[in-house]
Chains A and B, each alone.
Chain A
Amino acid sequence: MNELRQLARELLVDEKVDVVIGWEDGRRGARPAFVTAADDAERLIFDTRCVHNLATYLSPRRSHLAELGKVGLVVKGCDAKAVAGLLREAQLPRDRVVLIGVRCGGVLEVPDLPQPAELTSETVAPRCFRCDVREPHLADHLVGEERPDPPRPPMTIDERVAAVDALPVEQRWEFWVGQFSKCVRCYACRQVCPLCVCDRCIADKSLPQWVESASHPRGNLAWNLVRALHLAGRCVNCGECERFCPVGIPLSLVNRKLQQVVKQRFGYVVSDDPEAATPVGDYRLDDAQEFIR
């Protein structure tokens, strides 16, 4: 952590950045920190409670943050994947952000703890298992000690997806309709997602009204499925949408499922390489097209 704080201090003193966005201690756990004064770099922390995907603060729709100036962003590997996504889609000029990569050994599934805690198989976030970016590649600086592999949870995210997929289709339908019936259309999932960058979300358009805004099953299914499809091939599975959902809809299962489909159909896995060609943004002559009849 001292390495992180020292680097942040230097970047601010040398005016390489105007604000360092990282994590700090809050009353209920870690929370995003916006450090503009070099002395405040002491507040920056990094531990297993630092789940938040800070790349969301780079979104072009956050106009009040753009005013803060050039950003030094602290990123775990998964967060760096989101930054790569923004770069790929030209939502962010590369020179607007200095990326401070942190070496990560996994984070807690429920990080709302006043003190840091060691990871156990019961407490680790399932998505961390077999993470391929524990050291972010997309980074201008890399700090932190090497950490051991995250423990294996009782069920990995793929095993959780499989548990639902194992249901016959009518029961699976009932499962999802039941989960989406809880939706109160707060759009927390969209607001926190780093890749939900649309200036005018399709759900906000009224001419025509593509997605009904009331929370009945028809409207909820439309909203949640549209969002999942718009994220296919782009979602980095940071799990923030699920964590922020106030009614506990298992959104990471939907997004993970679509990641599996994209991998299977296009051989594509989201990474923190901003140059990588994406299935949504690119085509190949040998792309599968057996569905065109």
Chain B
Amino acid sequence: MSERPREDPVFLAADALDGLAGDLIAAGTEVVGPARADEPASPAAAAAAAAAAAAGLDKDVLEYRAVSRAADLALGPGMPRLSLKGLYLPQNEALFAWRQRGSDIEIEPAPTGARTRVVLGAKPCDAAALAIVDDVMNWDYADALWNGRREATTVFVLACGVEDDSCFCAAVGLAPDGSRGADGLLTPVEGGWLVEATSEKGAALVAAHAARFGAASAERREQAAAFRRTASERVATHLEIDADSVRDWIATHFDDPLLAALGVRCNGCGACASVCPTCHCFDIVEESDGLGHGTRRRCWDTCQSHKFTLHASGHNPRADQNARFRQRLNHKFAIYPLRFGEVLCTGCGRCARACHAGQDLVEILGAIDVAARRPDTVDVQSPETPARTVGAAAPASER
């Protein structure tokens, strides 16, 4: 189950949400949450939206975005297509701008103070990712751009009812009602949400808008508990692994056929990394805006790209997709846990949903877990064992 909440629960009625959002927006705070496509802002955009609808596009897609009114927030089932990551580590951001002045250079740094934001209704797996990535962003050197946004943002997660069988947050030590990385938890109950602050920031927000919240009746508390219990029980059935055994197995079986042949279907497209809440690898690029001035940016990058480790000499230590896919598993389930004590994955399942080549992390983790915990019982006839899909791997029992 989740961490114990810090504050006593209060109740936010569905029709009080509008008032709360309005208060925040009036105070200059950006309100972000899961929402469907924005209202077109111009006649041109409206026509474009109609054409998109006519062409059958963008049906009912949820994204995290800033909303101007509470009615736009979709606080219910559904997973935003991209994670919260983009709010803290944008796909591309300027690090600084430079300008040449004679033989000298002037540098204009990117601002590190960020606009005050509140996220209402984040997925718990997305919020937990923030706390996990905090480790690498503050490891010896502190990344002020990431930290600035973390400090300026208050996150209230919405307890999740479990999206589908690609969810596996429980398998990586998290929960559908977890508040890791968040400042408060909203749980759906009759007429609205039970609200529990889980940090100083969350408590401060509730206190500052106390008028919008009411008492949480015993009945509603029981509804919330039941909702959370059902969800936790459900997601636990999707995948069960011993993360420590998986970590140790991956760390000691680098050349094992089970690990070395998993990239056979993988296109190296990086869609998994784009949708992943914990993937944070980035590239630093320089762009000239004209003669004598330019911007240095960082953008998302992925170890799945063949360019990631390509040396200028042409040498590529990870020369094929098998090696690159192995690195993905290695980094997330062995290396990051060894360095920072945390799995670099929150079990949101987006990678499994986004990969149309059938690279399925639920299945892969399950197979590694079996190899790690019960090597004698690996069923090499089972089609679920990835090694069998290539057919060339030695049976596990012979290792």
Contacts and interface: CB of A to CB of B under 8 A. Distances in A.
Asked if the two chains touch in their complex, CB atoms less than 8 Å apart, one says: yes
B56 A155 contact: yes
A191 B265 CA distance: 12
Interface stretch (B117-125, B213-221, B334-342, B350-358): B350-358
Contacts of B297: 214
Closest 9 CB pairs of A and B: A31-B358, A188-B269, A36-B391, A175-B48, A64-B320, A214-B92, A191-B269, A160-B55, A186-B270
Contact of B273 (A164, A186, A214, A245): A186
Contacts of A65: 264
A250 B57 contact: yes
Contact of B82 (A35, A56, A214, A247): A247
A24 interface: yes
A171 B48 contact: yes
Listed residue (B287, B352, B363) with the most chain A CB atoms within 10 angstroms of its CB: B287
Given A56-B267, A171-B48, 18 more contacts: A28-B166, A28-B360, A34-B389, A36-B390, A36-B392, A68-B390, A112-B353, A126-B56, A161-B55, A164-B55, A171-B51, A175-B48, A184-B274, A209-B287, A215-B91, A244-B357, A246-B81, A250-B57
Contacts of A187: 269-270, 305
B45 A174 contact: yes
A213 interface: yes
B91 A184 contact: yes
A31 B357 contact: yes
Interface residues of A, number: 68
B391 A155 contact: no
Contacts of B108: none
B210 interface: no
A62 B390 CA distance: 15
Listed residue (A112, A188, A212, A253) with the most chain B CB atoms within 10 angstroms of its CB: A188
Contact residue range for chain B?
Answer: 35 or more
B322 interface: yes
Interface of A: 24-37, 40, 43, 52, 56, 61-65, 68, 112, 126, 154-155, 160-161, 163-164, 166-168, 170-172, 174-175, 178-179, 184-192, 204, 209, 212-216, 219, 240, 243-248, 250, 253
B89 to A, nearest CB: 12
B251 interface: no
B48 A167 contact: yes
B274 A34 contact: no
B391 A64 contact: no
B396 to A, nearest CB: 16
B52 A175 contact: yes
Contacts, number: 168
A155 B57 CA distance: 12
A64 B270 CA distance: 18
Contact of A35 (B302, B305, B391): B391
Contacts of B91: 184-185, 214-215
B58 A248 contact: yes
Given A28-B166, A184-B300, A213-B285, A43 B383 contact: yes
Contacts of B269: 186-192, 244
Given A28-B166, A174-B48, A186-B271, A214 B287 contact: yes
Nearest to A62: B321
Interface in B249-282: 263-265, 267-271, 273-275
B44 interface: yes
B388 interface: yes
B291 interface: no
B319 interface: yes
13 contacts: A31-B357, A34-B391, A61-B306, A63-B319, A174-B45, A175-B51, A192-B267, A213-B283, A213-B285, A213-B299, A214-B287, A244-B357, A250-B57
B229 interface: no
A163 B362 CA distance: 40
A64 B274 contact: no
Contact of A246 (B54, B354, B392): B354
Listed residue (A26, A126, A172, A190) with the most chain B CB atoms within 10 angstroms of its CB: A26
B318 to A, nearest CB: 11
